[in-house]
Structure 1
């Protein structure tokens, strides 16, 4: 059951003690895992479905290469779907902006 106070604070855009928006703990802890499983299922599901379609066409037409083309099409299609759903986007900071990928402005990098 949801806590009505937390839901009301989230709906009104209340800020936490450090100025950042409050996020429920269950959504923030396994979001990466859920996104990874969704990408995995899109790609594996695409491979399975399009391989079966290719296998059926191979059986009907007496060929042996369409199943491979179907598997490749399924993998590309699964990755495309996961990208279009925003599951393969770049990392983001806590405030929702993209994390910087360039060297810092002072010329020093933080690589170890």
Structure 2
């Protein structure tokens, strides 16, 4: 019998939530270390995979430049995936705003008209 059935309580699933990268929990929306590792793995993984594809095409066609194009394509693809998963967006932490931030309504809910 599984541990969940014996204890009578539900065990939270380890799903990553909607729209986030694998390994980045939905509860911790600031990302942090996991988001950084996801960005790193997307970029390095893209470079490695597309460089190997370029290396194979170079050997097949007798060229020497496709491996470099593959590495650049892999890096761009890694940045693209990171951006699409929301890992590279700027997020303010709760209660902290940048100095001179006049982008929202004032405390009395009026617009920023002066």
TM-score higher than 0.5:
yes
Shift of the alpha carbon at 1:59? 0.2
Q: Which runs of 5+ in 2 are unaligned?
A: 13-26, 103-114
Q: Aligned partners of 2:87, 2:36: CA distance in 1, in Å?
A: 8
- Count residues in correspondence: 78
| Larger helix fraction of residues | 1
CA distance in 2, matches of 1:87, 1:104: 23
Corresponding residue of 1:67: 67
Distance, in Å, in 1 between the alignment partners of 2:49 and 2:101 is 46
- Matched residue, 2:79: 79
- TM-score (normalised: structure 2): 0.59
Q: Matches of 1:83 and 1:104 in 2, distance apart? A: 24
**Are 2:98 and 1:94 equivalent residues in the alignment?**
no
**Deviations along 1:51-80, whole A, 9 cap, x unmatched?**
000000000110000000000000000010
Q: Give structure 1 stretches of 5+ with no counterpart.
A: 8-26, 106-112
Shift of 1:104: 5.0
